[in-house]
Amino acid sequence: MKLSKIILGCLLLSIITISCNKSSQTTSTAATVTTSGEYNDLFVPPSITGTNFNLTLAKATKQFKTGAATATYGYNGNSFWGPTLIMNQGDDVKINVTNNLTDQTTVHWHGFHIPAVMDGGPHQIIDAGGTWSPNFKIKNNAGTFWYHPHLHMKTYEQLAKGAGGFIIIKDPAESALALPRTYGTDDIPLVFSSRRFNTDNSIDISGAYGDYLLANGTMNAQVTLPKQYVRLRLLNAEIERGYDIGLSDNRTFSIIGNDGGLLNAPITTNRVKIMPGERVEILVNLGNDALASTIDLKAYNTGQKFGFPGAEPATAGDFGSLLNNKDFNLLHIKVGATTASAITSLPSKLASNVYWTNADVTNSRTINITGGQAGAAFTFDNNTYGFTSINQTIKLDAIEKWTIVNNNIFGHSFHVHDVQFKIIARSSGTVGEHESGWKDTVYVPLGETVTVIAKFDDFSDAVNPYMYHCHFSNHEDGGMMGQFIVK
Ligand SMILES: [Cu+2]
């Protein structure tokens, strides 16, 4: 919980190369929407499509509130967040990440199945002024992924200041479906987070929760979406807050995908919980709405049980916030004209995922959530993160069952690098339909035990570890992270 002030030293394992290959990269311009009344135009990140990508992280400023502009971070000249990288399954991609901060950084490709040394975890440090150029084959299925800093004890600060971006993977199976996929028109990436501002309008980097909701870095965001099915790619990039998402008229929507890509079939619901690090793709039917009518995408966070991050009643302090334990707007939607390529119906079948079961398991292990008492940091198995510690060693091609036990004091988002797993059991009852697909992040509520199965295939490395950690970045920075090698 409490952020350590220890300075990292001697982190010399980074792979720094200089490259300036700009071929086969195309950049779109950011979409703009008219501002009206109390709302601000939703920022839709520009997209970059191709196999060679250049990302440059730099300091920026953004006018969030009246008075001073807020010091932020952004990639590629954006004042907050970064461009959406669009990649195709099977492509060999190369990314040049240049760090124009005065601090070190790393960039992790959240959800990607790639070699550990390309993963962008705490070991792949990019020094100030340096460039890191990972390359890897895209092996994941079509879905919504993201990139963000993973520098140990700086993840919270760098993410809070705006460093992050979406990655959309496409594949032939997804492309064959009649789904909305015109980026920025009927296919909208939406990253939600909240921030607290200091009196000088700088971003507070001490508490668990922000006071003001940001959608793609936009406060009080509004967007015009066409009168048809629209696809919203939801990402919770909070420090700690969870959302129970719904629409203001309580209409149903269809969940079509989660972290690792498409579900086998759409799920119809009027609420979906999404925790830090998780993604959910939903289709909302605006086809029956009147032109110029409005509807709000909201978080229905009133009355969540203690242990749900953001349920605490306090309005101030390290665990309080103006948004805690209440319903609040995520996005104001205006209904605009139908497009020429409108999707007007929903496929009944989406994918043919075959999931791991207990019968496939070759090894099992248990991870206990520990610590957190009396202001101490949270840990796994009573071990605080160690940069050179290997907490788990996994055989290449093992199909492992991980049981995450939370007999502790609060809920957490558990994220594993390298793999997409299948959630097979929750001790409180059944696994939610919305999390029935491949997952890389799972919410572990207070008092619950969650069991997942993953295959650790393709990439072995006896030296370079992958991470597993709480995706509350304050907990992660505080040491709620472990390392595993696959060999
Ligand atoms: Cu945590």
Query: What is residue 25's predicted lDDT score, i.e. its pLDDT?
Result: 45
Q: Going along 259-317, which residue ranges are E strands?
A: 261-269, 272-274, 279-285, 294-300
Identify the DSSP state of 44: B
pTM of this structure: 0.92
- Residue 75: predicted pLDDT: 98
| 187-336: CATH number | 2.60.40.420
* Residue 171, phi then psi, degrees to nearest 5: -145, 165
Ligand 1 centroid–CA 378 distance in Å is 7
Closest among 64, 73, 45 to 156, alpha carbons compared: 73
**Model confidence over 11-37: pLDDT tens digits?**
322 323 223 333 344 444 443 333 445
Q: How far apart are CA 127 and CA 121, in angstroms?
A: 14
The secondary structure of residue 250, as a DSSP letter, is -
Measured CA to CA, the distance from residue 276 to residue 460 in angstroms comes to 28
**Is the pLDDT score of 278 beyond 80?**
yes
Write the DSSP string, 342-383.
Answer: ---S--S---------GGG-SEEEEEEEEE-GGGPPEEETTB
Phi, psi dihedral angles at 60 (to 5 degrees): -150, -175
Q: Which tokens go with 397?
A: 């091609």
Interval between CA 30 and ligand 1 midpoint (Å): 34
How far away, in angstroms, is 175 Cα from ligand 1 center? 36
Q: Would you call 335 exposed, middle or buried from its count of C-beta atoms within 10 A (0-12, 13-18, 19+)? A: buried
> Using an 8 Å Cβ cutoff, are 109 and 120 in contact?
yes
Tell me what percent of the residues of the chain surpass a pLDDT of 90: 91
Q: Using 50, 70 and 90 to split pLDDT, how confident is the model at 10?
A: very low
Centre of ligand 1 to C-alpha 240, Å, is 8
How far does residue 350's CA lie from ligand 1's centre (Å)? 33
Res 375: pLDDT? 85
What is the whole-number distance in angstroms between the Cα of residue 316 and the centre of ligand 1? 20
> Residue 149 Cα, ligand 1 centroid: separation in angstroms?
17
> What backbone phi and psi angles, to 5 degrees, belong to 474?
-70, -40
Q: Which of 168, 212, 203 is nearest to 46 (CA)?
A: 168
Give the distance (Å) from ligand 1 centre to CA of residue 309: 9
Q: What is the dihedral of CA 433, 437, 441, 446, to 10 degrees?
A: 30
What's the CA angle centered on 195, arms 98 and 467, to 5 degrees? 50
Interval between CA 210 and ligand 1 midpoint (Å): 16
Q: Ligand 1 centre from 155 Cα, in Å? A: 13
Q: Which CATH superfamily is domain 358-486 in?
A: Cupredoxins -  blue copper proteins (2.60.40.420)
Tell me which H or E stretch contains 132: strand 131-132
Q: How many angstroms is it from 483 CA to the middle of ligand 1?
A: 16
Ranges 35-49, 50-64, 295-309, 471-485: which has the least confidence: 35-49
Asked whether 211 and 171 are in contact (CB, 8 A), the reply is no
| Mean pLDDT score of the chain | 93
The DSSP 8-state label assigned to residue 176 in this structure reads: T
How much distance in Å is there from the Cα of 431 to the middle of ligand 1?
Answer: 20
Residue 114 in this model has a pLDDT that exceeds 90: yes
Phi/psi of residue 132, each to 5°?
A: -115, 135
| 439 CA → ligand 1 middle, Å | 17
- Contact, 353 vs 437, CB < 8 A? yes
pLDDT at 9: 30
Q: Which CATH architecture has domain 25-170?
A: Sandwich (2.60)
Q: How far is the CA of 129 from the centre of ligand 1 (A)?
A: 32
Ligand 1 centre distance from Cα of residue 412 (Å): 4
Beta bridge partners of 444: 412
Joined together, the tokens standing for residue 39 give 């709302």
User: What pLDDT is stored for residue 82 in this prediction?
Assistant: 98
Which residues, in sequence order, are CB contacts of 476 under 8 Å at separation 6+? 155, 156, 469, 470
Centroid of ligand 1 to alpha carbon of 305 (angstroms):
16
Amino acid 73 reads Y
The single residue listed with the structure tokens 């990140």 is: 45
Distance 87 CA to ligand 1 centre (A): 31
475 C-alpha to ligand 1 centroid (Å) = 5
Ligand 1 centroid–CA 472 distance in Å is 5
CA nearest 293: which of 336, 327, 261, 250? 336
SS3 category, 158: helix
Q: For residue 478, how far is its CA from the centre of ligand 1 (angstroms)?
A: 9
The pLDDT > 70 percentage for the chain reads 92
The answer to whether the beta carbons of residues 258 and 265 sit under 8 Å apart is no
Kindly state the average pLDDT of the residues 273-300: 98
Tokens of 464: 């370079």
- Lateral strand order in the sheet of 481-486: 392-394, 481-486, 466-470, 412-416, 441-444
Quick: pLDDT tens for 217-276.
999 999 999 999 999 999 999 999 999 999 999 999 999 999 999 999 999 999 999 999
> What pLDDT, in 10s, does the model give residues 352-397?
999 999 999 999 999 999 999 988 999 999 999 999 999 999 999 9
Assess contact for 95 and 119: CB atoms under 8 A: no
CA-CA distances (angstroms) from residue 138 to 84, 108, 294, 484?
16, 14, 39, 22
Give the pLDDT of residue 318.
87
State the distance between the two ends of the chain, measured CA to CA, in whole angstroms. 33
C-alpha 413 – ligand 1 centre gap (Å): 6
What's the average model confidence in pLDDT over 113-124? 98
Between the CA of 476 and the centroid of ligand 1 the distance, in Å, is: 7
Mean per-residue pLDDT, 322-339: 97
CATH 2.60.40.420 residue ranges in the chain?
Answer: 25-170, 187-336, 358-486
Å from CA of 415 to ligand 1 middle: 10
